[in-house]
Amino acid sequence: MTRKLSSEVKLERVGKRYGEVRAVREVSLTILPGEFFTLLGPSGCGKTTLLRLIAGFASLDSGRILLDGEPIDHVPPWKRNVGLVFQHGALWPHLSVYENVAFGLRERKIPPAELASRVAAALSLVGLEGFERRRPSQLSGGQQQRVALARTLAIQPRLLLLDEPLSNLDAQLRAQMRLELARLQRELAITTIYVTHDQAEALALSHRVAVFQDGAVVQEGTPEEIYWRPRNRFVAEFVGAANLVPAQVMELRETGVLVEAGTSIRLPVPADPARWRTGARALLCLRPEALRLEEAAIGRGTGFFATVAGRVFEGDRHIYEVRTGEGSLLRVEMPALGAARIFRLGDRVRVEFSAETVVLLPDG
């Protein structure tokens, strides 16, 4: 199985309604050949509906979908040569692993010799050589998902669609399977569209991510862009932890804006001054790991004073909760290894950060 499986997918103003509910709203996206592209959002936001539209299991109400430049809106699912792996794997319980993987090939009338070769290659890719005679009930959850993936890869699809395939696995197995998926996608260079509500999966696996809210794409970009440069409150809070501090724009400058938050924070923030006006209400987005704590008496960087209100040790890090002078509670994450000091409840500290890590968001 060495053939490169790379196709380009274009969605042009795609829309889908179910009665009065607009499940997908005017979505336009381009997924490049060989790209791992993730649709990320909460349950009910439209991401699975969009995946079903691409697979052909639901019909468009508006817009069109192109695969390698050819419209596929009216092409039936079985003629699109698109592979889809579901959340539950959907294996045939009465068939062996071999027969499950061979199922799609038999439907396509693949000659026996080639069928055996492609089944063996697919099982080798997912690390299940020697499991051919087992039934799904004799496999772990992770192994069942590998069989489902092997069955899909055996047909050599032009496009791989994955609908929350790891959500039923425990945390340790999910982390292991993320690595396996990343390796497989890298080896095959197959264009992959992945649906998940898990931001850790999206950040770990993807070349690019589209964040969905109420059927629409609210931000698209690389994992780094989505995480460190969210465009609104929803993205900031949904993708990772975020401290959102109410602020006001005090001055517009050539390279950014000067903001004030309460009585203790006044700092310049890198932001497009054309998007803001003096006096505008805003939110400072501060990622917990971009903050650090210093003793109140020696802190000298950009920051503000606070009091330690809580601490949790998680092995590799300390998670602090600090209360500002205005009463706001902020989360601060600091590495445990090499920590110069562990702060206690009630300690007076200075919360410091680099202005480059701050994002200014609309308050609304």
Residue 307 placed within a domain: yes
Q: Do 203 and 264 belong together in one domain?
A: no
Pair 17, 101 in one domain? yes
Residue 299 has pLDDT above 70, yes or no: no
Structure tokens at 116: 């055996």
Residue 345 in this model has a pLDDT that exceeds 80? yes
pLDDT band at 166 (very low <50, low <70, confident <90, very high): confident
In degrees and rounded to multiples of 5, residue 114 shows phi and psi of -70, -40
Same domain, 287 and 221: no
Q: Is residue 174 part of a domain?
A: yes
Lowest mean pLDDT among 111-115, 167-171, 196-200, 250-254: 167-171
Is residue 152 situated within a structural domain? yes
Q: Is residue 198 part of a domain?
A: yes
Q: Average pLDDT of the chain? A: 91
How much is the pLDDT for 5?
Answer: 57
Q: Assess whether pLDDT exceeds 90 at residue 21.
A: yes
Give the mean pLDDT of 7-13: 96
Last residue of a domain, one of 236, 264, 284: 236
For residues 302 and 320, membership in a common domain is answered with: yes
pLDDT for residue 40: 97
**Amino acid identity, position 65:** I
Q: Is the pLDDT of residue 193 over 70?
A: yes
Q: Over 60: is that where the pLDDT of 179 sits?
A: yes
**Residues 146 and 231 placed together within one structural domain of the fold:** yes
Could you give phi then psi for residue 61, rounded to 5 degrees? -100, -25
- As a whole number, mean pLDDT of residues 318-331 equals 92
pLDDT (0 to 100) of residue 301: 66
**Residue keyed to tokens 């079985």:** 78
Q: Is residue 3 part of a domain?
A: no
Per-residue pLDDT tens over the stretch 74-105:
999 988 989 998 877 678 999 999 999 999 89
Boundary-marking domain end, from 209, 236, 263? 236
Amino acid at 99: E
- pLDDT value of residue 172: 83
Burial 19-55 (b: 16+ CB within 10 A, else e): eeebbbbebebebebbbbbbbbbeeebbbbbbbbbbb
**Pair 217, 245 in one domain:** no
For residue 303, pLDDT beyond 50: yes
- Measured CA to CA, the distance from residue 265 to residue 248 in angstroms comes to 11
Q: Which of 16-30, 91-105, 172-186 has the lowest mean pLDDT?
A: 172-186
Q: Does 203 share its domain with 151?
A: yes
Domain count, the chain: 2
Same domain flag for 129 and 218: yes
Residues 217-234, mean pLDDT to the nearest whole number: 96
Is the confidence at residue 4, as pLDDT, over 60? no
Position 330 in a domain: yes
Average pLDDT over residues 251-269: 85
CATH number at residue 50: 3.40.50.300
- Statement to judge: residues 224 and 109 lie in one domain: yes
Residue 159 confidence (pLDDT) above 80: yes
Higher per-residue confidence, 269 vs 319: 319
**Domain extent at residue 295:** 241-362
SS (HEC) of the chain: CCCCCCCCEEEEEEEEEECCEEEEEEEEEEECCCCEEEEECCCCCCHHHHHHHHHCCCCCCEEEEEECCEECCCCCHHHCCEEEECCCCCCCCCCCHHHHHHHHHHHCCCCHHHHHHHHHHHHHHCCCCCCCCCCHHHCCHHHHHHHHHHHHHHCCCCEEEEECCCCCCCHHHHHHHHHHHHHHHHHHCCCEEEEECCHHHHHHHCCEEEEEECCEEEEEECHHHHHHCCCCHHHHHHCCCCEEEEEEEEEEECCEEEEEECCCEEEEECCCHHHCCCCCEEEEEECHHHCEEEECCCCCCCEEEEEEEEEEECCCEEEEEEEECCCCEEEEEEECCCCCCCCCCCCEEEEECCHHHCEEEECC
In a domain, 43, yes or no: yes
In a domain, 2, yes or no: no
Looking at the fold, whether 208 and 78 belong to one and the same domain comes out as yes
Residue 1 pLDDT exceeds 60: no
Average pLDDT over residues 226-234: 96
CATH number of 355's domain: 2.40.50.140
| pLDDT (tens digit per residue) in 329-343 | 999 999 988 767 899
Domain finish residue from 236, 263, 286: 236
For residues 131 and 174, state if they share a domain: yes
Residue 231 tokens read as 């465009």
Same structural domain, 134 and 229: yes
Q: So what's the pLDDT on residue 265?
A: 77
Q: In the prediction, which pLDDT does 2 show?
A: 45
CB-count burial class (<10 Å; 0-12, 13-18, 19+) for 175: middle
Q: pLDDT at position 286, please?
A: 94
